[in-house]
Amino acid sequence: MAAGGVAAALLAAGALRFGSFVLKSGIASPVYVDLRGLVSHPGLLRQVLAPGGEPLVADLLFQTAKDAGLEYDCVCGVPYTALPLATIICSEKQVPMLIRRKEAKDYGTKRLVEGTINPGETCLIIEDVVTSGSSVLETAEVLQKEGLKVTDAVVLLDREQGGKARLEERGIRLHPVCTLSGLLDILQQQGEVDAEMVEKVKDFIRGNVFEPVAQNGPAPMKRICKELSFRARAELPGVHPVAARLFTLMEKKQTNLCLSADVTGSKELLQLAASLGPSICILKTHIDILNDFTQEVVKELRALADRHEFLIFEDRKFADIGNTVKHQYEGGMFKIASWSDIVNAHVVPGSGVVKGLKEVGLPLQRGCLLIAEMSSQGSLAMGKYTEAAVQMAEENSDFVFGFISGSRVSKKPEFLHITPGVQLQAGGDDLGQRYLSPKEVISERGSDIIVVGRGILSASDRLQEGEKYRKAAWESYISRLGGHV
């Protein structure tokens, strides 16, 4: 029985665990499936048992395709976990293989698909686990752009959370070796898991299903999606150290307000940091507009940040080639990396801009925000540009921990979203700046932190006005959580 073979393989590799786990989506799950460890168990990847024994992972995938009567010319494994599975199948069954890159290299052929591509041929996709089907769809899109036909995908485990229906809506038939509920039944029969846990997992599956959406429609949404608190997000495995610090101090100080200190004198900058420091989580600077900048100024600013527990964000908007931004970040008269916790960058130059900044910032435990959207009228930072920013962030999550955006652009709770252009009353100015209210940004658009400049700086009582914004943003966050943390 296929499910029995999968159950044995997953248990042997420690790839199937029960308990309480926070998934990438931010949802707490009673079951965790992680097949990446299979690569360290070569005997589980291919058939190594005696004749008459049960076939293992790669053989099960191949047999599932054969039993379904699928005809195909080549095979492509979804990166990265399915790559070794596809490799074994293609090697042993003598089927041509294609490799899909997650990102194009900025040298060589710069191709997203490696291998011999013959437009018009049919490519079978191999995947390890399907939840929403997004990874299969992404791979299919890349292959289809190369002129290949994609009609079927074979998966080891279908979590039964809507991926199959979503793929079928896009014209791709999903053929699972086994389903999660079927696997649970086998494990219960074998005494590996009790009836209470089986029912708990099945309830979770039924309550967390990705709804099919029309082609070119919005991203899939779950029927139930629990919003995580900042405290819970700080404890997520793999969260960036800067993000963890920020989440933690936001909860401690009950503030998700960033002050945009766009002033031209160092005395005023330090006064703002001293007076409003207790009310903010981030102080954003444009250090190059100071008329009297010295390293002593940033030394004092750093001391105020440590005293009042806020982070410093130099809004430099790096946008050059890697080698140039590396020097801009590390050297020059400002020496930004030596004092600023956070910087940001445009994605226009490509991944080189992040790589250059990372070389300097990573050893110092600094973090970077990518500009995914802008608040100015007529901005070109939208659509494909925004998608590219999210992809670049995910590929560099050891340094990039969030986005400058007008709304939530990534569903991964490890990433922070920071929104500029906020005032208590929505509106705009004569130079194309559009203003949103804290409630619209935090409660409705799903951002985490509001950035306020002129709304506070133009007030006669800056401290009082800052407190108004802090309370408005924090109350909107509490409302988003359902009224409690």
Rounded CA separation 251/410 (Å)? 21
Residues in CB range of 457: below 8 A, 6 or more apart: 261, 262, 263
Rounded CA separation 161/314 (Å)? 42
Which residues are identified as catalytic? 317, 320
